[in-house]
Structure 1
Amino acid sequence: MIINFKQHISLYLFFIFSLLFSNNTKIHLFELDNIYYFSAQEFSQLKNYKSISYNDKSKIEIFYPNNKLTFSHNSTFVKYDNTIYHMATPAILKDSIFYIPINSFTRLAQQLNIHSFIINKKDMKIQILEPEDISNNDSEISITPYSPANTQWKIQTIVIDPGHGGKDPGAIGYHSMKEKHIVLDISKELGDYITQNMPDMDVIYTREDDTFLGLKNRTSIANKNGGHIFISIHANASSAKSARGYEIFLLQPNSVNEAIDVAIRENASIAFEKDPKQYNQNQIIATLSQNAFLKESEQLAIFVQNALKKELPKTRNRGIKQAGFHVLVGASMPNILIEVGFLTNKSEAQLLGKSYYRKQLAHGIYLGIKSYIENYNNQNMIK
Structure 2
Amino acid sequence: MKKVLKNVSFVLLLLKMCIVFGQETAIQKRIIIDVGHGGKDSGAIGINGIQEKDVVMDIANLILKLNNDLDRQLDIYLTRYSDTLISLSDRTKLAKALKADLFVSLHCNHSDNPDARGIEVYASRKQRKYSKESVFIGYQIEKTICREIGYESRGVKFANFQVLRETIGHCASVLLELGFLSNKDEVDYISDSINIELIAIAIILSIQN
What's the TM-score once normalised by structure 1's chain length? 0.46
**Higher Cα radius of gyration:** 1
SS in 2 for 1:176: coil
Residues 264-323 of structure 1 show CA distances to partners (whole Å, capped at 9, x for unaligned) of xxxxxxxxxxxxxxxxxxxxxxxx35x21101101111211221122113x212111111
1:113-134 per-residue CA deviation (whole Å, 9 max, x = no partner) reads xxxxxxxxxxxxxxxxxxxxxx
1:300 aligns with 2:137: yes
Alignment of 1:108-257 (within 5 A): 154-197=27-70, 199-252=72-125
Partner of 1:17: none
- 5 Å matches for 1:329-344? 329-331=165-167, 332-344=170-182
* Cα separation, 2, equivalents of 1:251 and 1:204: 21
Unaligned runs of at least 5 residues, structure 1: 1-152, 253-287, 374-383
Percent identical among aligned pairs is 33
| CA gap 1:292/1:169 in 2 versus in 1, 3 angstroms | same
CA–CA separation in structure 1 for the residues paired with 2:66 and 2:172:
20
Are 1:227 and 1:333, in contact at CA under 8 Å, matched by a contact in 2?
A: yes
Q: Map 1:19-98 to 2 at 5 A.
A: none
Alpha-carbon separation, structure 2, partners of 1:239 and 1:174: 11
- Amino acid of the residue matched to residue 166 of structure 2? G
Match of 1:346 among 173, 184, 196: 184
Letter in structure 2 aligned against 1:204:
Y
How far does residue 202 in structure 1 lie from its aligned partner after superposition?
1.5
Q: How many residues align?
A: 182
Kept in 1, the 8 Å contact 2:104–2:175? The answer is yes
- Contact 1:155–1:228 at 8 Å: present in 2 too? no
Q: Secondary structure at the match of 2:175?
A: strand
Tell me which residue corresponds to 1:133.
none
Cross-structure match for 1:322: 158
1:40-78 CA-to-partner distances (Å, cap 9, x unmatched) read xxxxxxxxxxxxxxxxxxxxxxxxxxxxxxxxxxxxxxx
What is the deviation of 1:198? 6.0
* Deviation per residue, 1:83-124 (Å, 9 max, x gap): xxxxxxxxxxxxxxxxxxxxxxxxxxxxxxxxxxxxxxxxxx
Inter-partner Cα distance in structure 2 for 1:297 and 1:194: 22
Give the unaligned 5+ runs of structure 2: 1-25
Structure-2 residue corresponding to 1:368: 206
Residue number in structure 2 paired with 1:92: none
Report SS of the residue matched to 2:69: helix
Structure with the larger strand share: 1
Q: Which amino acid aligns with 2:146?
A: K
The amino acid that maps onto 1:203 is I
Give the alignment's Cα RMSD to 1 decimal.
Answer: 1.5
Higher RCO, 1 vs 2 (CA within 8 Å, ≥6 residues apart): 2
Q: Is the 8 A contact 2:92 2:163 kept in 1?
A: yes
Please state how far the C-alpha of 1:201 moved relative to its aligned partner.
2.5
How far did residue 221 of structure 1 move? Answer: 0.8
Query: Deviation at 1:346?
Result: 1.3
